[in-house]
Homo-oligomer: A and B are copies of this chain.
């Protein structure tokens, strides 16, 4: 693949996208904030919103809660065959928005890269990405390109994705927040299992409250999952005579 690729939102994840794609595309980025320094660090160009939106491919790297505003802002400026790609950790909500807000002439692809700036700083090798194809002239071409980056590509419906994420990613984050709230941390007498658990939960504790909140509230399966976890723990506590 080649041509111009626009990145909307140049926070930590947008910069990760630029890092891995700048050798494959002419990358141009836009952020509401001044990101001149970060762009210079990565050797990519900052452009106007209008230019970024008109690229052959537009990758949205904004928080879930700002995706609607972002879509409305780019919609009038999209190219005739622009492929719009979102990267949100939930899929039903942004995919529905893209279908509603974006003009019929553009291609739409929902994605959830199951990695972040920490886990994929060095390599994408073996990292997972879930694709939810919405309207796409050539899914095969996209999949082949992502596989050439050594990514493990999975195809899913937005609903299946969100259902599975509620019971995997969202539960880990939920536990991470609870451990933070309880002040649980490394302990000298810890068992190997606890040490590993704390290391996992420390990673998700780095997430902002905004990311945590969005993942738990924009995924309609996350609330019931949280309830089930609380109920399961309460049930076991009762069985123990607690």
Interface band, chain A = 35 or more
Of the candidate stretches A21-29, A57-65, A76-84, A191-199, the one touching chain B is: A191-199
Does any Cβ of B come within 8 Å of A235's Cβ?
A: yes
Does any Cβ of B come within 8 Å of A85's Cβ?
A: no
Residues of A at under 8 Å CB distance from B? Answer: 114-115, 119, 128, 130, 154, 156, 161, 164-165, 167-169, 171-172, 174-175, 177-178, 181-182, 184, 187-194, 196-197, 200, 203-204, 213, 216-217, 223, 226-230, 232-237, 240-242
Say whether A189 contacts B204, CB under 8 Å: no
Say whether A228 contacts B182, CB under 8 Å: yes
Interface SS majority for chain A: helix
Contacts A213-B240, A227-B242, A230-B230; is A168 near B182 (CB within 8 Å)?
A: no
Picked from B165, B178, B204, B237, the residue with its CB within 8 Å of the CB of A236 is: B178
Given contacts A115-B192, A161-B189, 12 further A-B contacts (CB under 8 A): A114-B189, A114-B191, A114-B192, A154-B189, A168-B194, A171-B184, A171-B194, A174-B233, A182-B232, A196-B200, A213-B240, A227-B237
